[in-house]
Amino acid sequence: MSCYTTNMSKEARVFLPQILWYSAIWLVVASALFLILRYRRSTLYSKEKYEALLTTVSDKRQKATDPCQFFIAGDPVNANGNFAKAIFYCDKQRKAVSTLDLSVLTTPDYRSMLEEVGRINGFSTEEIVKDGSWKCFDDQEQIFNFSDKIKLKSRVECFFNFTDGEIRTLYAENN
Amino acid sequence: MPKTTKTIVSIGTAVLISILGFYLRYKNHTLVPLPGESTDEYSYSWVGLSLIELGLPVSRSGLTGYGGNDYRYINVDRIFSTTAGGSPLEINQPWLDHPPLLSLITGGYAYLSGARVFEDATARVIRKPLLLFGVTTIILVGVLTYQLVGAAAALLAMALLATSPLVTVTSRMIQGENGVIAAFLASLIFLSSYLTKKKKIFLWLAALAAGVGLLFKVSGIAVAVCGAIILFSQENKKMALKFWETALFLTISLSFLALFFVYGAAFDWSTFVIVWQSNSTRPYDIGFGSLLDLLTTTKITVSKRLTEGWPLVGWISVFLLLAVEKRRKLFSFVVLPVLVYLIIFLLMGGSAYGWYRLPFIPFLFIAVAVILTEGVSSAEKLLPVVLTLIPLGMTVHKLSEAHRLAAIIPFWRYGLPAVIGWFLFVKRIRLNRFLYVALILAALAANVWLNLSLTPEFYLKIN
């Protein structure tokens, strides 16, 4: 050791101990960081908390007054055909079109699709899928069972306070 | 003017400039840039929020290295009705794209402000810490420029950074580069202090600041490289001393990069390595096209531009400083950082993204301030006058898109050659100095006016 130190330059005698001390402290800090991160992950993480973090609608976000107030603009360009359109007709004048990438759904049925569009845009889909005040169609065929599997590239159209005649007229005009 | 009075006036002016800089950054900060224009802003903050709540970094990435994405619509700020397009976000965990410091700052701030889910992390909340970063950067630019050349240039550099519309808009964005800038400037300030005062504490502080830069983004390696070159190329110093100073500096600064590796290993080492490889296989954009693009365009995001003349004049000023010999300190602390970051910028293939260019800006503006301030005392003012007219003209042009300025177009058309002709032929020193300073103040005033005009509607219109 004495031989080692006597061969060192003056600069090395000043700086080398500092570097070694710093490295030792760094090792302690890095080890502590590693262990703390591992411990926090093992105690805090759960699939439910992960889902809640991603999918809970913020209390601060303005709720939609009806399904036509907001919409998903643009198309999911990377969906490779795995998408569906949700079109809501809130009255004779107002409608909203949203296109949903179906890969976000765990259960690819009509209910899940409408609920996801409702969650994203901030409205409740309860009255659409349950109470009958809305009538929904997939490519002009009425949906009676919302648990049916949704077809790819579907046009799911939901009408509020429309008579069957008015819906037929609308489809005829659009065709 | 007595020295004390001069100091008080200078500090007072610096405080006023910082307040102005804060105000310009604060005004419309939740709306411009448009929320969702870069979803990276949310991405950074979500990492912080998920680290706090889940103990795991979760966020949007889409890099191929993750080997599959969890697609989600997270409609924060209603971005899916406005800017985000129709595709869901690619969520990855553990998210290891970048070191976590900026994430912890913005995500931590969001958490303290009551955010508990990703949708709570709105632009209104998460951009607030960046306003402080912006003002800190203004002050740091002032300190560094003061150390290098003096108070007048420092105040001008601060004023440019405080009022440049491009900078006020980009400094609101949650991008790692905004942190790298502050660390870069702080490290250089401490290094400059170390070189003049020889106190070792400054070497340590410089190295620690360089290390902090690496915790914002890996491109912060430029700070460590630049500092090492400055230390190793000192004149009139023993080689052994330079070697050990550089070794200490690099050990400390690079140890922070090593901490990022530890962070990656704690979550998933194999994902960390693959993501690192994905990041490094981005397009290698070292062609002349990317350099020309860098010199001639001023971007905010990938496609959104906010054309401004000051960065172009900054590049010209850097070249002018490069050409002047015997200005070693200016070379080391202004030109060298630009050159070192330019290499990192080109290697990282960052020319497509506006925020990759941010670390150039403080040094470009210091260079402009040096050249323009020298013009005040110089008898020959034509060059600095032309350098002032370029950004003034471009800013007035932008203003004319927001306001009805048709009436002043003839004044500009005939005034421009008249001003150049005046400074070419008329040699009245005091009058020319007055006119020149008035021109610089007019350019700064135009900056402020354009900032105040930048409503979301106008921001969408201009390019």
CB within 8 Å: B86 and A104? no
> CB neighbours of B414 closer than 8 A, spacing ≥ 6?
none
Edge-to-edge strands, sheet with A83-89: A95-101, A83-89, A155-160, A134-138, A141-142
CB within 8 Å: A61 and B78? yes
Give the chain B residue whose CA is nearest to the CA of A57: B119
Which residues in chain B have Cβ-Cβ distances shorter than 8 Å to A104? 71-73, 88
Does the pLDDT value for residue B230 go beyond 80? yes
pLDDT at B453: 96
CA–CA distances in Å: residue B316 to residues A1, B156, B287, B358: 56, 17, 20, 17
Task: Pick B78's closest partner by Cβ from A55, A70, A103.
Answer: A70
Mean pLDDT for the stretch of residues A115-135: 89
Closest CA to B308 of B114, B158, B444, B205: B444
Does the beta carbon of A49 lie under 8 angstroms from any beta carbon of chain B? Answer: yes
Task: Pick B86's closest partner by Cβ from A29, A74, A103.
Answer: A74
Closest CA to B102 of B204, B169, B173, B206: B173
Is A75 in contact with A101 (CB distance < 8 Å)?
A: no
Which residues in chain B have Cβ-Cβ distances shorter than 8 Å to A44? 53-56
Does the pLDDT value for residue B284 go beyond 60? no
State the DSSP H helix or E strand holding residue B215, giving kind and residue range, or none if neither: helix B200-216
> CB neighbours of B404 closer than 8 A, spacing ≥ 6?
none
Does the beta carbon of A8 lie under 8 angstroms from any beta carbon of chain B? Answer: no
Which residues in chain A have Cβ-Cβ distances shorter than 8 Å to B119? 56-58, 60-61
Does the beta carbon of A120 lie under 8 angstroms from any beta carbon of chain B? Answer: yes
Q: pLDDT of A16-71, one tens digit each? A: 999 999 999 999 999 999 999 999 999 999 999 999 999 999 998 888 989 999 99
Task: Pick B88's closest partner by Cβ from A26, A70, A101.
Answer: A101
Give me the residue label for tokens 């800038």: B181
Give the chain A residue whose CA is nearest to the CA of B257: A30
pLDDT at A173: 84
Does the pLDDT value for residue B285 go beyond 70? no
- How distant is the Cα of A164 from the closest Cα of chain B, in angstroms? 31
How many other C-beta atoms are found inside a 10 Å radius of the C-beta of residue B462? Answer: 18
Closest CA to B368 of B68, B160, B206, B80: B160
Site from B47, B49, B56 to mutate, A interface, most A CB atoms within 10 angstroms: B56
- How distant is the Cα of B238 from the closest Cα of chain A, in angstroms? 9
CB within 8 Å: B244 and A38? no
Task: Pick A45's closest partner by Cβ from B54, B85, B119.
Answer: B54
Does the pLDDT value for residue A126 go beyond 90? no
Mean pLDDT for the stretch of residues B32-44: 96
pLDDT category at B63 given cuts 50, 70, 90 is confident
Mean pLDDT for the stretch of residues A87-114: 95
Average pLDDT taken over every residue of chain B:
94
Does the beta carbon of A104 lie under 8 angstroms from any beta carbon of chain B? Answer: yes
Instruction: Tell me how far apart the alpha carbons of residues B343 and B340 are, in angstroms, rounded to a whole number.
Output: 5
CB within 8 Å: A30 and B259? yes
Pairing of strands B70-72, A134-138: unpaired
Is B58 in contact with B46 (CB distance < 8 Å)?
A: yes
Query: What number of C-beta contacts closer than 8 Å exist between A and B?
Result: 141
Q: What ipTM describes this predicted complex?
A: 0.92
DSSP state of B88: P
pLDDT at B249: 98
Percent of residues, chain B, with pLDDT higher than 90:
84
Task: Pick A58's closest partner by Cβ from B82, B117, B252.
Answer: B117
pLDDT category at B269 given cuts 50, 70, 90 is very high
CA–CA distances in Å: residue B296 to residues A148, B8, B353: 56, 39, 14
Does the beta carbon of A9 lie under 8 angstroms from any beta carbon of chain B? Answer: yes
**In A, residues 150-169, which contact B (CB 8 Å cutoff)?**
none
Question: What phi and psi, each to the nearest 5 degrees, are found at residue A153?
Answer: 60, 25
CA–CA distances in Å: residue B27 to residues A4, A69, B10, B34: 63, 28, 26, 13
Give the chain B residue whose CA is nearest to the CA of A37: B266
pLDDT category at B287 given cuts 50, 70, 90 is low
Does the pLDDT value for residue A132 go beyond 80? no
Question: What phi and psi, each to the nearest 5 degrees, are found at residue A97?
Answer: -115, 125
Which residues in chain A have Cβ-Cβ distances shorter than 8 Å to B87? 74, 76-79, 101
CA torsion, ordered B212, B213, B217, B220, to nearest 10 deg: -140
Which residues in chain A have Cβ-Cβ distances shorter than 8 Å to B91? 54
Give the chain B residue whose CA is nearest to the CA of A63: B78
Does the pLDDT value for residue B407 go beyond 90? no
Closest CA to B58 of A119, A76, A32, A47: A47
Q: pLDDT of B412-461, one tens digit each? A: 889 999 999 999 999 899 999 999 999 999 999 999 999 999 999 999 99
Does the pLDDT value for residue A175 go beyond 60? yes
pLDDT category at B400 given cuts 50, 70, 90 is very high
CB within 8 Å: A54 and B87? no
Question: What phi and psi, each to the nearest 5 degrees, are found at residue A138?
Answer: -115, 115
Closest CA to A38 of B267, B58, B262: B267
Give the chain A residue whose CA is nearest to the CA of B121: A58
Does the beta carbon of A13 lie under 8 angstroms from any beta carbon of chain B? Answer: no
Q: pLDDT of B330-369, one tens digit each? A: 999 999 999 999 999 888 776 678 999 999 999 999 999 9
Environment class of A47 (CB within 10 Å of its CB; exposed 0-12, middle 13-18, buried 19+): exposed
CB within 8 Å: A74 and B259? no
- How distant is the Cα of B84 from the closest Cα of chain A, in angstroms? 8
Does the beta carbon of A41 lie under 8 angstroms from any beta carbon of chain B? Answer: yes
Does the pLDDT value for residue A158 go beyond 80? yes
Give the chain B residue whose CA is nearest to the CA of A80: B87
pLDDT category at A1 given cuts 50, 70, 90 is very low
Angle at CA of residue B194, ends B191 and B197, nearest 5°: 145
Q: Which of A78-87, B195-204, B401-410 has the lowest mean pLDDT?
A: B401-410
CB within 8 Å: A54 and B252? no
Q: How far is CA B352 from the centre of its chain?
A: 16
Instruction: Tell me how far apart the alpha carbons of residues B171 and B158 are, in angstroms, rounded to a whole number.
Output: 14
pLDDT at B282: 65
Site from A25, A72, A99, A100 to mutate, B interface, most B CB atoms within 10 angstroms: A72
Q: Which of B61-65, B97-101, B146-150 has the lowest mean pLDDT?
A: B61-65
